[in-house]
Each structure stands twice: as structure tokens, then as C-alpha cells.
């Protein structure tokens, strides 16, 4: 009760401008405030201000107001911004091991993903990022990727053969589609809708939130809920800022992040479910889209086909056999 009253007093003092925080933490991200990442960032800000008794003033800047993901990592090094939450691919140049999460059909479900992230595997990956001059705090979800196509339903590995699929710049994703004789096409995300509409590519892979918000389902005939790959983010802090904090405030940061991560995971599941319902409603109303779920037999066939690429990434300079094997074991 005392803490709640204190938080209210601190909030009113901050609002009136009669109370100056000891530290200002700018949290930069590239998405809107109503996304799981955006909502979790706002939750973190409020919670850390409460826990620190107003000693840390957290200012959240959504929608790339300060930096885009490519520029934010340099800004963190300079302490021009104190926290960010880029996608894993942005770390690929200096921590390629994060491509572990790109491996197709590695994870059985979201519980398996979280088990890996919360294990020694996740900690090892965070330590690799921290050694590069950042403080890696925690993993946040976007969700699982699904497959769409304008040609035919993608149910068995052979169904993908010959089709052109858009991918992000990733050696793993390139190998993923080549393993089933498909043709991966690297392409900026902003060009995907028009490329699908014009038939430049036949299909794509993405999370439900990306498929829904970018309306990819409107220019595709078939969608398979394959859950074949995971997309996520890593919350990182400026090392200079972190080192400036006393131990009690570092503890508050860790606690606020722990609570925000739990919330973000919840928000991601809720958004995924609600947007999938909207895509299903569109499919039912228009009859222009057919949605499929993989049967256990179909998923087993995909796992067999795709797991053959794992050894390509056993090198410690790529992902590392130890990380891949431990991640698989955590799903048993």
C-alpha cells in the first residue's frame, strides 16, 4: 500500500515538473504503441518508474520517432538512446548465432521457444550480445511464421517445389526453401504486397500480425498455419547507461523487465489470436482464401525435410551444434 501511495506521489510530482529524476532512459522502438512490443514498452516504463521511486524517468519513443532498427544499435553504443528492441536479424552481423531462431521446425510450440530463451541457451546468446558492447536484457515475441501461396495449398514439402517465396536476408531461410526445391527471393518487406499482387513471387512466410496488418491475405489464395519458424526481438540497453546505475536501480530494471516480458508474451498471443480470427472471417465472407492446418503426419514430413539443413549451421561461426542440439533437447 505504501509503495502504491509513493508511486502516485512520484507520478504527480513528475507531471507537475517539481521533481527531477536522477536518470532519463529513452526507449526507442519502430512499431506502434498498440502492438505487443509497444504495449510492453509502455508497461516497462510505468513499472520501472514505480519501482525506482521516480529516480528513472523512462521516455518511450515508438514508430521510429528517434531511430530505425538499423541505426539504433549505433545510437546505443553512443548512449544517445538507452534502450531498444530490434529484431534478431539486426544483430546478425556480429552475433550470427541468433539465427538459431530462424531454423525451420526447430520449435514445437511457443512454450518450447520460451523454454529455450529462458534456459542456458538463451543466456549464452544474450552473453554473446553483451560482449559486443550492449546489455542484453530479454527476448520478446512477435510470433510464429505461416506460409501463404497463390499457386496451391502448401501442405507437404513437395507442394512448395518450384514456387517463388519472398524471404528476409538470411542464409538459414535461403536453405529452408531450397531444402524443399522452392525458390527463395530476397526482397524488402515494403515490396512484398505488390510483388504478391503482380505475381512476381508466388508466396511468402510471415507472422499472423504481419500477414494481417500488411493485408497479404488479400492477394493470396492459400494459407497454411505451419508455425514453422519464429520471429522475435531482443531488448538491449546501452552499456554506458547500465554501468552508470547503482546496484539498487539495476535490480529495479531487471524486475521491471521480467514483468514486462511476461506481459509482452501475453500480448503477442492475444494479438495473434484476434488477428487470425479476422483473417478467418475474411476467408469465410469472401471465399477468396482457404486456410489449412498441418496434420501430425504432414508436420513430421516437414520436420524430416527441413532438419536436414541443421548441419549446415553447426559451425560455431554460424550458429553452433551445441546450441542447436540443446534447443532440440528442450523440446522433448
Residue-wise pLDDT for 119-178, tens only, equals 999 999 999 999 999 999 999 999 999 999 999 999 999 999 999 999 988 899 999 999
Is the per-residue pLDDT at 14 higher than 80?
Answer: no
pLDDT at 17: 47
pLDDT at residue 20, rounded to an integer: 81
pTM for the complete prediction?
0.89
Structure confidence at residue 111 (pLDDT) = 96
Which residue's C-alpha cell is 536501480? Answer: 249
| pLDDT at residue number 11 | 52
> Is the pLDDT at 42 greater than 80, yes or no?
yes
**pLDDT by residue (tens digit) across 235-260?**
999 999 999 999 999 999 999 999 99
Counting the structural domains of the chain, the total is: 1
Quickly list DSSP for 2-19: HHHHHHHHHHHHHHHT--
Q: What distance in Å separates the CA atoms of residue 233 and residue 317, rounded to the nearest whole number? A: 21
Instruction: Provide the pLDDT confidence category of residue 268 given band limits of 50, 70 and 90.
Output: very high
Q: pLDDT grade, residue 19 (50/70/90)?
A: low
Cβ within 8 Å of residue 322, ≥6 positions away: none
Cβ–Cβ < 8 Å for 256, 48: yes
Give the range of the structural domain holding residue 48, as residue numbers without chain letter. 2-329
Distance (Å, whole) CA 240 – CA 251: 16
Which pLDDT belongs to residue 189? 87
Place 190 in a pLDDT band, splitting at 50, 70 and 90: confident
The length of the chain, given as a count of residues:
332
User: CATH code at 292?
Assistant: 3.40.190.170
DSSP 35-53: SHHHHHHHHHHHHHHHHTT
Q: Strand runs (DSSP E) across the chain, as ranges?
A: 23-28, 56-61, 83-84, 134-149, 164-167, 183-186, 203-207, 222-238, 290-293
Q: So what's the pLDDT on residue 30?
A: 87
Q: In the predicted model, is pLDDT for residue 3 greater than 60?
A: no
Q: How confident is the model at residue 16 (pLDDT cuts 50, 70, 90)?
A: very low
Amino acid at each position: 500500500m505504501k509503495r502504491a501511495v509513493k508511486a502516485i506521489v512520484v507520478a504527480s510530482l513528475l507531471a507537475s515538473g517539481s521533481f527531477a529524476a536522477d536518470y532519463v532512459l529513452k526507449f526507442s522502438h519502430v512499431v506502434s504503441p498498440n502492438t505487443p512490443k509497444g504495449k510492453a514498452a509502455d508497461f516497462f516504463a510505468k513499472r520501472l518508474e514505480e519501482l525506482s521511486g521516480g529516480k528513472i524517468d523512462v521516455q518511450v519513443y515508438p514508430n521510429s520517432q528517434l531511430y530505425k532498427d538499423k541505426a539504433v544499435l549505433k545510437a546505443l553504443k553512443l548512449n544517445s538512446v538507452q534502450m531498444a528492441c530490434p529484431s534478431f536479424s539486426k544483430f546478425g552481423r556480429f552475433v550470427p548465432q541468433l539465427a538459431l531462431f530462424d531454423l525451420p521446425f526447430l520449435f514445437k510450440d511457443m512454450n518450447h521457444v520460451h523454454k529455450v530463451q529462458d534456459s542456458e541457451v538463451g543466456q549464452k546468446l544474450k552473453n554473446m550480445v553483451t560482449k559486443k558492447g550492449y546489455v542484453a536484457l530479454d527476448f520478446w515475441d512477435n510470433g510464429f511464421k505461416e506460409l501463404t501461396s497463390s499457386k496451391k495449398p502448401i501442405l507437404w514439402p513437395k507442394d512448395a517445389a518450384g514456387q517463388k517465396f519472398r524471404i528476409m536476408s538470411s542464409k538459414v531461410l535461403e536453405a529452408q526453401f531450397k531444402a524443399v526445391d522452392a525458390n527463395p527471393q530476397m526482397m524488402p518487406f515494403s515490396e512484398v504486397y505488390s510483388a504478391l499482387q503482380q505475381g512476381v513471387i508466388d508466396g511468402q512466410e510471415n507472422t499472423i500480425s504481419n500477414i494481417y496488418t500488411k493485408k497479404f491475405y488479400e492477394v493470396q489464395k492459400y494459407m497454411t498455419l505451419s508455425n514453422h519458424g519464429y520471429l522475435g526481438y531482443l531488448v538491449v540497453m546501452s552499456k554506458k547507461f547500465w554501468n552508470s546505475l547503482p546496484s539498487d536501480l539495476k535490480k529495479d530494471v531487471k524486475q521491471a523487465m521480467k514483468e514486462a516480458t511476461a506481459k509482452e508474451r501475453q500480448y503477442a498471443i492475444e494479438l495473434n489470436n484476434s488477428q487470425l480470427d479476422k483473417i478467418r472471417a475474411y476467408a469465410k465472407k469472401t471465399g477468396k482464401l482457404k486456410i489449412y492446418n498441418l496434420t501430425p503426419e504432414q508436420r513430421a514430413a516437414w520436420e524430416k525435410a527441413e532438419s536436414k539443413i541443421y548441419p549446415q549451421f553447426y559451425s560455431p561461426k554460424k550458429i553452433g551444434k551445441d546450441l542447436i542440439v540443446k534447443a532440440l533437447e528442450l523440446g522433448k
